Structure 1
Amino acid sequence: MNRHEHKEDEVRRMMDTARPHVPGDLAARAVARGTRLLHRDRVVRRIGWALLALAVAAFVVWASVVRPWEVPPAGTTPPLEGW
């Protein structure tokens, strides 16, 4: 018996057995769970956008104070010769 025949026999056995009992409130529970998941995803997305906005604001404030695009002042002065 090759692998394909073995799987086919297993599927036939599964189809011949009695089907399990499905709870009557399964659809209602699925809807409630889906609603909770959508609500949680929406809250997580809003928190993520808020954190991103705060990070951008913090970067703008930092950049305006530090001004990283300007050349820093020289730490030493050049020697004065010829005075």
Structure 2
Amino acid sequence: MNRHEHKEDEVRRMLEATHPHVPGDLAARATARGVRLLHRGRAMRHLWWTLLALAVCAFVVWASMVRPWEVPPAGTTPPLEGW
């Protein structure tokens, strides 16, 4: 028996076997689970966008108060030579 015939026999045996029992409410449960997953994903996206917006706002407030782009004032005065 070659490989092709062996596969055909295996497929034939699988098709002739009894099919497993499928619960009647399987579609309803799958739909409910899908809806829950969609809602959870949407809630997570909203949460991440909210956290990102809060982080941007906190950065803008911090940057406006600290002004890191400005040069800090000198700690000492330059020497007065040559007067």
TM-score by length of 2: 0.79
User: How many Å separate the matches in 1 of 2:10 and 2:66?
Assistant: 69
Equivalent residues in 2 for 1:1-83 (5 A)? 5=3, 8=7, 12=11, 13-83=13-83
User: How many Å separate the matches in 2 of 1:10 and 1:58?
Assistant: 68
The number of aligned residues is: 81
Structure 1 pair 10–82 and aligned structure 2 pair: CA distance change class (3 A):
farther
TM-score by length of 1: 0.79
Structure 1 pair 10–72 and aligned structure 2 pair: CA distance change class (3 A):
farther
User: How many Å separate the matches in 1 of 2:71 and 2:51?
Assistant: 31
User: How many Å separate the matches in 1 of 2:67 and 2:9?
Assistant: 70
Unaligned runs of 5+ in 2: none
What's the C-alpha RMSD, in Å, of the aligned pairs?
A: 2.4
1:3-41 deviations in whole A, cap 9, x for unaligned? xx3883685243443221111100000011011111111
